Amino acid sequence: MRIHADPVSTALLHPTRRALYLALLSADEHTTVELQKLVAVNRYNLYHHLNKLANLGLIMNHRDEGRARWWCVLNRVPLPTDGNAATDDDTMLSIPLQDARVQAQARRLIRELAEVSGQSIDLDSFTMESLQIKGRPMKKEGDK
């Protein structure tokens, strides 16, 4: 038996395409070079993922200046979840890490937490896209 999923949802479940779409949602436009730096993939893979998103009508190359290609969001859609989303009792917080300064701070924080907890962690072999925190909100005094 073969199950067919919504192509837009399926595309946005891919980490690179999701990161590209989120980066474009957070700005009016980005050049191909900027996007390549934000998602840290080679040019061939970048164009593959950009073309996939463009073919689905989510983004578009809206102008070219010299050799620079500028991309923007064409269609805003809700981001799909992979089924591992928080339950009603849990809250999921997500901090996007496309900005290099935010990613550097996140790496520093994670290294410090690993050191305090006595764990060994090698972040150099990972591309960090977001920091997700799952938990339950703390109950306030008087809540049951």
**pLDDT score, position 140:** 57
pLDDT tens digits for range 33-64? 999 999 989 999 999 999 999 999 999 998 88
Compute the distance between CA of residue 71 and CA of residue 1 in angstroms, rounded to an integer: 38
| CB atoms near residue 95 (< 10 Å) | 12
| Exposed / middle / buried, residue 72 (Cβ in 10 Å: 0-12, 13-18, 19+) | middle
Give 5's pLDDT tier (boundaries 50, 70, 90). Answer: confident
CB 20 within 8 A of CB 27: no
Q: In the chain, which segments carry CATH 1.10.10.10? A: 7-73
**pLDDT score, position 72:** 94
Compute the distance between CA of residue 36 and CA of residue 42 in angstroms, rounded to an integer: 7
Note the CATH number of domain 7-73. 1.10.10.10
pLDDT tens digits for range 61-111? 988 888 889 999 999 998 887 655 444 445 567 778 888 888 888 888 888
At a CB cut-off of 8 Å and minimum separation 6, what does 58 contact?
8, 11, 12, 21, 73, 74, 75, 77
Compute the distance between CA of residue 46 and CA of residue 40 in angstroms, rounded to an integer: 9
